[in-house]
């Protein structure tokens, strides 16, 4: 099962993230878990979320980068759900051997995330560390830069690339190659 953790506080205004989700919508075994829809008050249902994670083989955190970080609800979700005894520590092997991937959008062009500081991989390094800490495999992120200027045609192409990547990762998991 593919668990897509959608973390977008303004999904109704998101041209890019809607297209990315739509490109995956008919994938077998996909569950889109819209965290802002479920938890607008930031009160995360830990048993529900942990149950979804137990079922998943591939977990995708999809979110926009705001001010060089993820939306706040993702951090709250991590603190509530990825607890000792579930995700790590003694008896915490529920996520062992699962795959974690991030899919992010940025308003700025790629050059805003290059140089010695604040490369996109540096900004997403907490998710790599989280995966490793929880015994998961971290897959390189899928990044869409410059959504403020990208054309609809370019966005459609990017959405198809996203679908192909998710299918490829999922196929690799099922074949035991990832």
What CATH number does residue 170 fall under? 3.40.50.360
User: Could you give the number of structural domains in the chain?
Assistant: 1
Among 35, 100, 30, 26, CA closest to 63: 35
The half-sphere exposure of 90 on its side-chain side, counting CA atoms within 13 A, is 0
CB atoms within 10 A of CB 90: 7
| In contact, 50 and 92? CB cutoff 8 Å | no
Q: What is the domain extent for residue 17?
A: 2-174
Tell me what pLDDT residue 121 has: 85
Q: Which pTM value belongs to this model? A: 0.94
Residues of the chain under the 70 pLDDT cut: 109-118
Q: pLDDT per residue over 23-60, tens digit each?
A: 999 999 999 999 999 999 999 999 999 999 999 999 99
Tell me what pLDDT residue 119 has: 82
The half-sphere exposure of 61 on its side-chain side, counting CA atoms within 13 A, is 25
Q: How far apart are CA 31 and CA 72, in angstroms?
A: 22
């Amino acid at each position: 099962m593919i668990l897509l953790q959608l973390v977008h506080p303004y999904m109704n205004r998101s041209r890019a993230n809607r297209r990315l989700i739509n490109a995956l919508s008919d994938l077998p075994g996909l569950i889109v878990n819209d965290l802002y829809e479920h938890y607008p008050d930031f009160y995360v249902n830990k048993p529900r979320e942990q149950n979804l994670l137990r079922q998943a083989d591939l977990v995708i955190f999809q979110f926009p980068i705001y001010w060089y970080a993820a939306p706040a609800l993702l951090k709250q979700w991590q603190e509530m759900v990825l607890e000792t005894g579930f995700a790590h520590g003694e008896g915490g092997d529920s996520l062992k051997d699962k795959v974690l991937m991030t899919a992010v959008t940025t308003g700025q062009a790629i050059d805003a995330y290059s140089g010695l500081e604040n490369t996109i991989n540096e900004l997403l390094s907490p998710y790599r560390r989280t995966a490793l800490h929880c015994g998961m495999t971290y897959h390189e992120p899928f990044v869409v830069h410059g959504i403020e200027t990208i054309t609809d045609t370019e966005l459609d192409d990017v959405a198809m690339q996203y679908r192909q990547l998710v299918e490829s990762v999922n196929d690799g998991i099922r074949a035991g190659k990832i």
